[in-house]
Structure 1
């Protein structure tokens, strides 16, 4: 979990934020109060009071049957509102513009959204491909795109199998089976970045952490003739360098299973 510098007089806010982040990290499956107590070091009564207040504000919801906590509608509303002026796009645009100048090709920014990836922004290269712009604002199943493969590689081996089972039919429509996904993930982990080439187009993708509990990725896409393996490795290193230089809070890590 991301560590932040404490500000005098803001202890209650710090505690509430810490609890909210842990609930966000376990949003899909839910988080028990006892786990929140263990994670934050707060006593049970204090943790319960803060979480109950967050629930009252709509930032947190409690499952009536399991008693587990998830993010609430208000948390979703806040996240959806910021997409109009995405903080991630604002932070990453200088890096993307530099990569466009270095590569001459188009640079995409995507974020993970459950089992899919969502394209947030595109910086076009000197030879823009008209169809690329249609990807902005669209979603793809994890693994069906070079940045999406980089995000897929963050799943554990077991989670990957379950993910494939949930979307077997959709993957079949793209002629992608579990062995192919597993091969792509293995190659991505070994290289530290994803690399695909199909239909005359090639690309390289690099994933990085987004805040305390999210994942994002950048990818450079261009004609296959412009992106041979040697240049792909060079561009992946440039992506990693620029993110670390301009956005140290979003330092890219080689994708490893949890």
Structure 2
């Protein structure tokens, strides 16, 4: 019994450390303060401080001596570079996301699936002056919450959709007041019919988004490309044009990621205009 208890305690400590590390990553260039991390993680201040000290000792975070704020450390950079050798599509997606942002003028994203969540990996901003800051690299949402996340969910088989929604039901009810499980099921159906997903300001009012999924040659969902803009730039005609742009870039990315650079057999859905 003591061994089981130790294993559970160790797993809990790792989970808490990851909560804190993700909190630091979300702060990006501004750094994260101790009080903000305490609030965001729901952990006690002494626990967060103890975890930060342990992470700093391993080079996973650094504390800026003047502001006393925490930033990701050099060891995160090293591990990220090593991991990128396996997740090659992440590297390939960077110029695609930049091209999307340049062509549409708004913010473009690449997100990947992690279990029942979608994690934003890349973000690029276009030159349109009004920006939406609803999604930053490192942010994670339950599958179905947000345009890219919804595109990933809609690309999954029905049994996986049900499993993801069941696993996230309590979190969605607690943290996403504009969402519900029945609503997300309806949005999945709409996304499949359209060929792309639409988020009509359900995460942050006034911030709309579109997304298309990425599937490999075996049909496995790799992630999603998405674009977000202020509501005034998302009328139906522009939604359809942006969806075509996303679909084109998704096909390019899949072609590069497929063995030998061949065009992938499993293509993103072709966007369909509303009748």
| Pairwise TM-score range, normalised by the shorter structure | 0.5 to 0.7
CA shift at 1:157, angstroms? 2.5
Deviation at 1:205, TM superposition (A): 0.3
Deviation at 1:200, TM superposition (A): 0.9
Return 5+ residue gaps in structure 2 as ranges.
Answer: 1-78, 259-263, 271-275
> Could you say which residue in structure 2 is the equivalent of 1:253?
268
Displacement of 1:81: 3.0
Partners of 1:207 and 1:218 within 8 A in 2: yes
Q: Is the 8 A contact 1:119 1:139 kept in 2?
A: yes
Instruction: State yes or no: 1:121 paired with 2:128.
Output: no
* Counterpart for residue 240 of structure 1: 247
Deviation of 1:188 (Å): 0.4
Pair 1:194–1:130, CA change in 2 (3 A): closer
Corresponding residue SS for 1:89? helix
Counterpart among 176, 185, 188 of residue 188 in structure 2: 185
Alignment partner of 1:208 is 2:214: yes
Equivalent positions of 1:125-144 (< 5 A) are 125-126=126-127, 127=129, 129=131, 131-132=133-134, 135-144=136-145
Aligned length: 177
Q: Which residue of 1 aligns with 2:36?
A: none
Using the alignment, how far apart are the partners of 2:141 and 2:107 within structure 1? 18
Q: Is the 8 A contact 2:109 2:226 kept in 1?
A: yes
TM-score using structure 2 length: 0.57
Instruction: Give 3-state SS (helix, strand or coil) of 1:122's partner.
Output: strand
Confirm whether residue 227 of structure 1 aligns to residue 234 of structure 2: yes
Give the C-alpha shift of residue 92 in structure 1: 1.7
The answer to whether the Cα contact below 8 Å between 1:150 and 1:207 also exists between their aligned partners in 2 is yes
How far apart are the structure 1 equivalents of 2:160 and 2:211?
A: 21
Deviation of the 1:161 alpha carbon? 2.4
Structure 1 unmatched ranges of 5 or more: 1-77
Normalization by structure 1: what TM-score? Answer: 0.61
SS at match of 1:236: helix
Superposition RMSD in Å: 2.7
Whole-Å separation in 2 of the counterparts to 1:232 and 1:138? 24
Output the CA distance in 1 between the equivalents of 2:159 and 2:253. 34
Residues 210 and 216 in structure 1, CA contact (< 8 A), matched pair in contact too:
no
Aligned equivalent of 2:72: none
Measured after TM superposition, the shift of residue 233 of structure 1 is 1.0
More contact order relative to length (CA 8 Å, sep ≥ 6): 1
Distance 1:243 1:166 in 2: 29
**1-side partners of 2:207 and 2:118: how far apart?**
19
